[in-house]
Amino acid sequence: AQSVAQPEDQVNVAEGNPLTVKCTYSVSGNPYLFWYVQYPNRGLQFLLKYITGDNLVKGSYGFEAEFNKSQTSFHLKKPSALVSDSALYFCAVRDGGRAGGFKTIFGAGTRLFVKA
């Protein structure tokens, strides 16, 4: 069965500093990995995904994530945080094979707070 873990409930960072939001996963087949962001009272918005190819994936709003197969991780990063980045971030995984039943499993979410 596939699973995804976001070990931090909240990440606090000062504006202008780099940020990292952690994610680890477990799947039996090839992992398809996603990051979504949710602003208050809104639906989730897609940031980036890894399907295959280059381990470093660049996405929206200056975010990037690195796929690390040996550590089964897909951490979200940004070189310089903005106050407007403050939101709830979800990591998600889908098993590329049929074993996952086409389900996307979402992590519990990490609240990012960027202080001015």
Residues 77-106, mask of contacts with another protein (x by CB under 8 A) = -----------x-x---x-x----xxxxxx
Q: How many residues bind another protein (CB under 8 A)?
A: 24
Least distance in angstroms from the C-beta of 46 to another protein: 5
Q: Which stretch binds another protein (CB under 8 A): 15-23, 35-43, 64-72, 74-82?
A: 35-43
Q: Provide the token pair at 79.
A: 């070189």
Of positions 10, 45, 68, 84, contacts another protein by CB under 8 A: 45
Site for another protein contains 61 (CB under 8 A)? no
Using CA atoms, how far apart are residues 37 and 96, in angstroms rounded to an integer? 22
Q: What is the DSSP string of 39-106?
A: -TTS-EEEEEEE-SS-SEEE-GGG-EEEEETTTTEEEEEESS--GGG-EEEEEEEEESSGGGTTPEEE
Using CA atoms, how far apart are residues 25 and 107, in angstroms rounded to an integer? 9
Q: List interacting residues with another protein (CB under 8 A).
A: 32, 34, 36, 38, 41-46, 49, 51, 88, 90, 94, 96, 101-106, 108-109
